Structures are given as C-alpha cells and as structure tokens.
C-alpha cells in the first residue's frame, strides 16, 4: 500500500475486524463472554486497512453469544484477539487511530461466521452494508438472534457476489484476485490485494459516489456507473505507464481514476459533449485541464504544476484502440499535436519516416528528425539533445476503426530528461503530448 495515500473523503473511514474476541491481544483491551472455562478458544487475526494501514485503531467485537471485546491495531494494521469458538458469529468495527498520520473520521465494518482470519477494509464494509440492506451499521447492537440469522456463510457469499458485481462497474472495472475474499483471505501492506483498496478509493471518487452510496447500490444490485472502461496513461519519468480507470457516471459526467505509482492518486469528473468528448471539469480534483479527441479515446490531462512530485501532463489511450506495432504505418500522414492541454502544432511524417513539426500559428518548421518513430517505438527510445539537456523520447501509436470502416491513427509521446540535470520538472526536455491524424477536408 502506498505510504503517501491520503485519507480522502471516501477513505476517511475507520476499519473494523470481523471476528469477536473474549480476550484481547495486539495492544491490549478487554472482553466479556459466556460459557464454561473449558470452552475452546481460537486466535482471531486480521488486517485493518484503507489503502494504508490503520494504526492505533480500536477494533470492537460484538458477538451472537453476547460477548464483547476490543483490540488495538499495530503499525501494519494487524490485530490479534482470542475468542471462544461458541461466540460466533460476530460483527466488528474499527474506530479511531490514524492512516498516514491522519485521524480517521468514521468506522468500517466486517463480519465473521466462524474463527479464522478476518480483515476490515472498505470492501468488507460494503459486504456488511449488503447484509444490512444498504446500511453497514444496521447490525450494530443487534440482538443475538439477528446476528445469527444475518451472518451466515450463505449470506456472506451472496453479499460478496453483489460487491464484486458493484465494483466491476466502477472506473477501471475493478476485480478481486482469483480466490481472494476481502473478509478472510490473508493479505499485507504493499501487496496487490492491498493496492486494490487504493484503486477502489480513487475509483469511487471518480464516480462521484460515497461509501454509503456504494453500499446502497450494491445491496440493491444497481450499477455504480452507466459505463466503465479502462485506458492506459503515460507520463514521466521515463515512459511511466499506468492503468487509468474511466466511466460514464450516473450523472452523465466522465469519471477519471488515476493511480500514479510515483505521485499518488488522482480523480476527477468532466463534462461530456454530444460527440462523446470530455470538455471541462465538474470536479477537477488536482487537474487543471483536459483534452479529449476521437470520442474521448485519446486525451491529455494537465495539473498545471511544475513541482517535482506532480508533472503537468498525462496522456491516455483507451483500451478500445488497437496498438500499432510497425511505425511505418504512420508514414505519409499528418497529425495534430496537443501539449499542455492545448493545440501545439502539426507534425508530418514523410514516406521515409522523417518527423517534421510545425508550431501552431507559425510558418516555420523544426528540422526533420529521420527515423524518429522507428527509434521512439523501441525500449531504448529516441535520444534527443546533448549534454545536460539530453532526453529520451518514447512513443506508442494506436489506430481506431469506426463503424464505417474508416481508420484513424493516433500516438502518445513522452520526453523524459536523462542528462546530468535530472530533476523531475516540466521543461523543454520533459513533456507529454498526443497526436491525432489530421483528416482530409
């Protein structure tokens, strides 16, 4: 999990464990229970996390037997408690504590039908929300008979299926790893299953929904967006690529969910015009500008920042596009280029593959770069400049065939400074751009 992950409104929830305890470990606590002293006991362990560990959170257990207990989460979000086997099933909450040094504002829930591993995350909270018909708090303080009838293996399995169906309709079509159950599968800080919590938080923001919205819709079997799909986004340093979640939201906006491995998570909602292009932001988040072309199948996102931790541009290409593997397919074509979320000029690729750029509003062309794309398509890239201003330019090209059989070529290009001055800031040697084939009038 990312140590830089912020406690966003969606992730500002305290996490609860799903196992009830009669005796408490990992930070101490107290418990009460019923049954004879010889009743068998089991150790309950789990992780409380929201995309980063919940540290110092109080895990409270309420069980069908009437037993209650509490435990405290450690620095990695783990807790441990001993419970009587006869105490199950249990509903659990985590409150207090911090994630990345930020205090948690509200609780999350989980549930356990029997002893074993139990985690508490926003995804387990959704499962309990389904059990509570859209209200994760519905089982708080419930009578023993209610807990026993609600928290069964069958009900938990059905609720998990509804949650899986719901998150698949978020930007990026989120999925659980094969065989992974958020309630009781083991995971730890920094692994792929933990990374899904980061993705979920950002995707939920991009969809313009709260945790409560997600629980209500998951319980009713409703989709969380109108349409969801994925794109690949590119930025510096190097040719950093990442999955960008996208969606047409329930309110008709375009949802953007981006998890940059170097700079953290970004989400936003933009307006969509009648041609399918994203035009301007309804909720910009950290972004300052957007360019959308080819029915929003290729575009550019800008932050307006030159800070080392937040570069100005991301270029994205939809999964609906087909990758071009032979750069010669671009020969003889002219492309309109966009940089800094604005028109920058046109580029012509001649029959030999020489790339010539003409700046917008100018009659002057930059000198042609022979075999530019044939080099930029390789892992070593096209080496541009010299000395401290040396940059490596990488590019990917795609094509889109519309319903009339017409093909349009596009590309994304990233220039990353590789000379002695390697500060990650925007400048002449650090930029991202997109090119869209110019069609004859």
Give the per-residue pLDDT at 120. Answer: 96
pLDDT tops 80 at residue 312: no
Is the sign of the CA dihedral 229, 231, 214, 195 positive or negative?
Answer: positive
d(CA 211, CA 99): 17
pLDDT tops 80 at residue 308: no
Contacts of residue 440, defined as CB under 8 A and 6 or more positions apart, other chains included, come to none
Work out the average pLDDT over 255-281.
Answer: 92
- Tokens matching residue 33: 């229970």
Q: For residue range 150-200, list pLDDT tens digits in order.
A: 999 999 999 999 999 999 999 999 999 999 999 999 999 889 999 999 999
Work out the average pLDDT over 127-141.
Answer: 94
Give the per-residue pLDDT at 366. Answer: 75
Give the per-residue pLDDT at 388. Answer: 67
| pTM more than 0.85 | no
pLDDT tops 70 at residue 126: yes
pLDDT tops 50 at residue 303: yes
Pick from 332, 13, 18: nearest CA to 156:
18
pLDDT tops 80 at residue 37: no
Give the per-residue pLDDT at 419. Answer: 63
Average pLDDT across the chain, whole number: 86
DSSP 440: P
On the CB side of 133, how many CA atoms lie within 13 Å of its CA? 2
Q: For residue range 214-248, list pLDDT tens digits in order.
A: 999 999 999 999 999 889 999 988 899 999 999 99
d(CA 427, CA 313): 12
More confident residue, 72 or 143: 72
User: What ranges make up the beta strands (E) of 74-181?
Assistant: 78-84, 90-95, 98-99, 102-103, 108-112
Residue carrying structure tokens 């590119």: 234
pLDDT tops 60 at residue 13: no
- Tokens matching residue 354: 């020489």
Q: For residue range 95-114, list pLDDT tens digits in order.
A: 999 998 999 878 999 998 88
d(CA 152, CA 157): 9
- Tokens matching residue 340: 């800094």
pLDDT tops 60 at residue 58: yes
Q: How confident is the model at residue 311 (pLDDT cuts 50, 70, 90)?
A: low
Task: Count other C-beta atoms under 10 Å from residue 101's C-beta.
Answer: 9
CA angle at 164 for the pair 159 and 169, rounded to the nearest 5°: 130
Give the per-residue pLDDT at 14. Answer: 33
Q: What are phi and psi of 195, to 5 degrees?
A: -60, -30
- Tokens matching residue 441: 């009038």
Q: For residue range 418-437, list pLDDT tens digits in order.
A: 765 444 344 456 789 999 99
pLDDT tops 60 at residue 409: yes
pLDDT tops 90 at residue 54: yes
pLDDT tops 70 at residue 16: no
Contact between residue 397 and residue 330 where contact means Cβ atoms under 8 Å apart: yes
């Amino acid at each position: 999990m990312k140590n830089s992950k912020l406690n966003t409104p969606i992730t500002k929830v305290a996490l609860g464990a799903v196992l009830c305890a009669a005796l408490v470990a990992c930070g101490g606590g107290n418990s009460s229970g019923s049954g004879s002293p010889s009743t068998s006991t089991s150790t309950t362990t789990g992780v409380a996390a929201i995309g980063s560990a919940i540290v110092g959170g109080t895990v409270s257990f309420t069980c069908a037997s009437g037993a209650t207990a509490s435990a405290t989460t450690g620095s990695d979000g783990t807790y441990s408690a001993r419970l009587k086997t006869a105490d199950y099933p249990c509903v659990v909450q985590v409150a207090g504590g911090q994630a990345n040094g930020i205090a948690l504002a509200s609780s999350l829930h989980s549930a356990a039908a029997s002893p074993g591993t139990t985690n508490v995350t926003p995804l387990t909270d959704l499962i309990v929300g389904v059990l509570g018909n859209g209200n994760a708090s519905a089982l708080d303080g419930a009578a023993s008979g209610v807990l026993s009838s609600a928290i069964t293996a069958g009900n938990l399995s059905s609720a998990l299926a509804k949650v899986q169906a719901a998150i698949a309709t978020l930007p990026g079509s989120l999925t659980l790893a094969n065989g992974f159950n958020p309630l009781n599968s083991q995971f730890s800080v920094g692994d792929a299953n933990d990374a899904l919590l980061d993705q979920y938080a950002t995707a939920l923001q991009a969809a313009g929904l709260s945790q409560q919205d997600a629980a209500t819709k998951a319980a009713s079997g409703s989709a969380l967006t109108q349409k969801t799909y994925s794109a690949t986004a590119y930025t510096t340093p190097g040719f950093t690529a990442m999955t960008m979640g996208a969606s047409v939201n329930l309110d008709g906006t375009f949802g953007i969910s981006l998890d940059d491995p170097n700079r953290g998570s970004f989400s936003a909602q933009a307006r969509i015009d009648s041609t399918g292009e994203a035009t301007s932001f309804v909720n910009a988040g950290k972004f300052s500008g957007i360019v959308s072309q080819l029915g929003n199948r290729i575009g550019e996102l800008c932050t307006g920042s030159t800070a080392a931790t937040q570069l100005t541009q991301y270029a994205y290409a939809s999964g609906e596009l087909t990758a071009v593997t032979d750069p010669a397919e671009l020969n003889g074509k002219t492309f309109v280029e966009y940089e800094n979320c604005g028109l920058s000029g046109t580029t012509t690729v001649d029959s030999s593959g020489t790339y010539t750029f003409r700046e917008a509003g100018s009659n002057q062309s930059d000198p042609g770069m022979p075999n530019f794309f044939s080099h930029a398509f390789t892992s070593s890239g096209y080496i541009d400049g010299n000395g401290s201003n040396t940059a490596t330019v990488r590019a990917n090209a795609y094509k889109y065939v519309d319903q009339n059989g017409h093909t349009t070529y596009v590309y994304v290009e990233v220039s990353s400074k590789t000379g002695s001055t390697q500060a990650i800031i925007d400048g002449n040697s650090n930029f991202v751009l997109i090119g869209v084939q110019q069609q004859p009038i």
